[in-house]
Amino acid sequence: MQRPIPCWFMRGGTSRGPFFRASDLPADIVARDRVLLAVMGSPDARQIDGLGGAEPLTSKVGIVKPGSGDIDLEFLFAQVSIREARVDTTPNCGNMLAAVVPFAIESGMVKAGEAVTTLRVLTLNTDTLCDVEVQTPEGRVEYAGDARIDGVPGAASPINITFLDTAGSVCGALFPTGNHLDRIEGVAVTCIDNGMPVVIMLAADLGVTGYETRDELNANDALKKRIESIRLAAGPLMKLGDVAKKVVPKMCLVAAPRAGGHISTRTFIPHDCHSAVGVLGAVTVATAAVTSGTVARRVARVAPGPNKVISVEHPSGEFTVALEMNAHHPDEVARASLLRTARLIMRGEVFVPDGIWAGES
For 234-247, what is each residue's pLDDT tens digit? 999 999 999 999 99
pLDDT of residue 305: 81
- Residue-wise pLDDT tens digits, 166-206: 899 999 999 999 999 999 999 999 999 999 999 999 999 99
Average pLDDT over residues 55-79: 97
pLDDT of residue 306: 82
Q: How far apart, in whole angstroms, are the C-alpha atoms of residue 56 and residue 274?
A: 9
- Residue-wise pLDDT tens digits, 135-166: 999 999 999 999 999 989 999 999 999 998 88
- Residue-wise pLDDT tens digits, 263-281: 999 999 889 999 999 999 9
pLDDT of residue 361: 57
How many C-alpha atoms does 236 have within 13 Å on its Cβ side? 5
Question: Residue 210 pLDDT > 70, yes or no?
Answer: yes
Bridge partner list, 254? 202, 265
Amino acid identity, residue 285? V
pLDDT of residue 252: 98
Question: Residue 296 pLDDT > 90, yes or no?
Answer: yes
pLDDT of residue 39: 98
Distances (CA, A) of 240 to 170, 171, 225: 8, 7, 20
Q: How far apart, in whole angstroms, are the C-alpha atoms of residue 323 and residue 296?
A: 16
Q: How far apart, in whole angstroms, are the C-alpha atoms of residue 359 and residue 274?
A: 34
Strands 250-255 and 197-202: parallel
Q: How far apart, in whole angstroms, are the C-alpha atoms of residue 338 and residue 311?
A: 11
Instruction: Of 44, 51, 50, 65, give the one whose Cα is nearest residue 10.
Output: 51
Average pLDDT over residues 249-253: 98
Q: Where are the alpha helices (DSSP H) in the chain?
A: 29-40, 94-97, 100-106, 214-218, 221-237, 279-289, 295-299, 354-358
Q: H or E segment at 333?
A: strand 333-340
Confirm if 59 and 17 have CB atoms less than 8 A apart.
Answer: yes
Is there a common fold for 2-158+342-358 and 182-340?
yes
DSSP 3-state of 65: strand
Average pLDDT over residues 296-309: 91
pLDDT of residue 322: 93
The pTM of the full predicted model, rounded to 2 decimals, is: 0.82
pLDDT of residue 188: 98
Q: How far apart, in whole angstroms, are the C-alpha atoms of residue 81 and residue 37?
A: 8
CATH superfamily of this structure's domain 2-158+342-358: Diaminopimelate Epimerase; Chain A, domain 1 (3.10.310.10)
Instruction: Of 320, 257, 263, give the one whose Cα is nearest residue 291.
Output: 263
Q: What is the mean pLDDT of the chain?
A: 96
Reported CATH class of domain 182-340: alpha beta
Length of the chain in terms of residues written: 361
User: Which percentage of the chain shows pLDDT scores above 90?
Assistant: 91
Q: Where are the domains of the chain?
A: 2-158+342-358, 182-340
